[in-house]
Structure formats: structure tokens, C-alpha cells
Amino acid sequence: MISYQRLWETMREKGVTQYALIYKKHISPSQISRLKHNEYVSTHTIEMFCKILNCRVEDVMEYIPDEEN
């Protein structure tokens, strides 16, 4: 599974709010919702967040292996 928990941590560290992303950087609210729910987003979206936050991909997302039963 891909987790975007690191995105929210990076945003908090850099003082960037969801409001600023939507109204100042013109990020779609639906994209933010997809990220909140760890749903698929394009690499273009990840790249946009890295540019806005001046960070690396690892600061936005991480891979968490699924537990096998």
C-alpha cells in the first residue's frame, strides 16, 4: 500500500495548509481527498507537491508492504 502520511507531516513542518494548496496553488480538492484516503494519484500530482513543498518524493509518500495472512 502507498501511504501519504508523510505528505501531511511535511506540510505541517513547512507551514503549508490545505487551504493554501487549494486557493493559492490551485490543487484540486478532489486530489487532496484522494491523498487523504491513500488512493491512487498520478506521478504528475506527486511531482507538483514536491515542487510546491520543495521536498523529495520520500517526504510525500511511502510504500508499506501488505501483511500476508
DSSP assignment of 1-69 = -EE-HHHHHHHHHHT--HHHHHHTS---HHHHHHHHTT----HHHHHHHHHHHT--GGGT-EE-PPPP-
Q: Which domains does the chain have, with CATH numbers?
A: 2-63 (1.10.260.40)
pLDDT higher than 80, residue 68 = no
At 3-62, the pLDDT tens digits run 999 999 999 999 999 999 999 999 999 999 999 999 999 999 999 999 999 999 999 999
